[in-house]
Amino acid sequence: MIELYPYTINDGIPSVRDSELLGLYQTMESDKSLDVVYYNKPQDDISPEWWMAFIKTHCQLFVILETGDDGKRSIVGIVYLNNVVGRRADIHYCMFKPVWGRSAEICSEVMRLLFEHTNMDCFVALIPEYNKQALGKPTEYGFKSSAIIKKACYISSLGKSVNGHQYTMARKGK
């Protein structure tokens, strides 16, 4: 079973402690996912401090939890939303290495949960053309390929912009 656990601050108390955020960062770092997910980072290297400030101030983070057959819950990835305009948001995923072979299955459930628990009507994903492993993946869990946008993704490690493949998913019905 997949669950989404949102990062929120209620009366000054965060739902995810800084030490837990740091653990998410360290998992992405050990999986070598940081530079892929944060391709347009503002500096050459992503520090834990920059990442935690970004998560806390520029997006809505959800931790993806999976309950195994043994009843044990584990963190299998993160998804975050940003650039919210009306009822549309940009969406970004990072699945952790142990579930890479099942990411489409997990992301399908994540999308169902996001539509169920948010008021968003449309999610937009933008994948740089150099990320061959991720290109086309969103269509495996319900997104539609909608455009190739010329030079839409600045890749700081390359010092240049590359084409971005845009995928969208709209709420069904209504």
Residue 44: its pLDDT value, please?
A: 60
Identify the three-state secondary structure at position 41.
coil
**Per-residue pLDDT for 92 more than 60?**
yes
Q: How many residues in total does the chain contain?
A: 174
Section 113-125 average pLDDT:
96
Strand partners of residue 63: 5, 78
Report pLDDT digits (tens) over 147-172.
999 999 988 778 889 999 999 999 98
Instruction: Report how many domains make up the chain.
Output: 1
**Is the residue at 139 inside a domain?**
no
**Is the residue at 99 inside a domain?**
yes
Section 96-117 average pLDDT:
94
Mean of pLDDT over the chain = 90
Neighbours of 111 (CB within 10 A): 19
**Is the residue at 159 inside a domain?**
no
**Is the residue at 12 inside a domain?**
yes
**Is the residue at 71 inside a domain?**
yes
Section 32-48 average pLDDT:
72
**Is the residue at 149 inside a domain?**
no
Residue 47: its pLDDT value, please?
A: 81
**Per-residue pLDDT for 43 more than 70?**
no
**Per-residue pLDDT for 140 more than 90?**
yes
Burial environment of residue 78 by CB neighbours within 10 A (0 to 12, 13 to 18, 19 or more): buried
How many whole angstroms separate alpha carbon 110 and alpha carbon 99? 14
**Is the residue at 72 inside a domain?**
yes
Q: Which two tokens stand for residue 131?
A: 């990320």
**Per-residue pLDDT for 9 more than 70?**
yes
How many whole angstroms separate alpha carbon 3 and alpha carbon 5? 6
In which band, very low, low, confident or very high, does the pLDDT at 90 lie, cut at 50, 70 and 90? very high
In which band, very low, low, confident or very high, does the pLDDT at 35 lie, cut at 50, 70 and 90? confident
CATH code: domain of residue 112: 3.40.630
**Is the residue at 162 inside a domain?**
no
Residue 41: its pLDDT value, please?
A: 63
User: Domain residues for 61?
Assistant: 2-125
Strand partners of residue 78: 63, 94
